[in-house]
Amino acid sequence: MSAASDPPQSTLPYPPLKDKAPFVVLSDWDGTITSFDSNDYLTDNFGMGLEARRKLNIEILHERLTFRDAFQSEMRSIPMTFEECKRIMVRDIRLDPHFVDFEAWCRAHDVPIVIVSSGMEPLIRAVLTSQVGEEDSKRIDIIANTTIVNEDGTWDISYRHPSSGFGHDKSQAILPYRDLPHRPFLFFLGDGVSDLSAARHADLLLVKQKEGGENDLAAYCRREGIPHVLFDDFRGALKVIMGIVQGDMTKEDVLAMGAIKA
């Protein structure tokens, strides 16, 4: 499931590139910025259940099933309206306890944060706004899929890249930075199967460790020989990004660590 040589056509616009910034943070949302994956939460508790979902994830990891098709099956197994799903997410989903401090440091030091998600922008924006407030939420661009909501409240996911097996090929949010005359140093933070399309393309890949053994991105990187560093929370991520931005660490220093200890 590597990114195709011909980029998939996007059905949705992209925000402007952060072309003046020397450093840019691109981060997955679910299970990375959030303490646990909101779509998994809905699927496990209200849809097909944990066991069925994990079977799909393993199929994705071994490239026997596309993320696009598996994720759509998960979302369609949830027998709730869009507004019910949004209400539950806003009520139950929390951010990594150190993300707010991470975002504040990045903002103070002109390091843009862009959320690159295989989830759905309206749900991400609702949760983010509920956690950090509307003003701070607006500062963060979100590149994700969207939703089609019917008059009766039923809904379906609308993919950014419907022709791609990823549904949203996250590499397409990273690769345009390669063509800038003054190319920034790119960090990508992720955790799971939705991040496979992005894993090879940042200057430094930070992989979040998760409880319960669902460390699918880490397993993929080990199998494919993709350099990465593990982190537990955004306190550790900030330690690394601060070190590189301020010139106290190099990429090689970070990768030699293997795992970040906050």
Looking at domain 23-34+95-257, its CATH class is alpha beta
The length of the chain in residues reads 262
How confident is the model at residue 255, as a pLDDT?
A: 96
Please report the pLDDT score of residue 1 as a whole number: 43
* Residues of the chain below pLDDT 50: 1-4
| Per-residue pLDDT, 192 | 83
| Percent of the chain's residues with pLDDT above 70 | 97
Phi-psi region for residue 258, left (φ > 0), alpha (ψ -120 to 50) or beta? left
Active centre residues (catalytic): 28, 30
Q: Is 159 helix (H, G, I), strand (E, B) or coil?
A: coil
Say which DSSP state 194 is in. Answer: G
Which CA distances in Å does 258 have to 128, 248, 253?
Answer: 30, 17, 10
End-to-end CA distance of the chain: 33
How far, in Å, CA of 77 to CA of 81, rounded? 12
Q: Which helix (H) or strand (E) holds 73?
A: helix 67-76
Task: Say what the pLDDT of residue 3 is.
Answer: 43
Distance, CA of 220 to CA of 60 (rounded, Å): 11
Give the DSSP letter of residue 56: H
- Annotated domain spans of the chain: 23-34+95-257
pLDDT of residue 210: 78
> For residue 70, what pLDDT is reported?
95
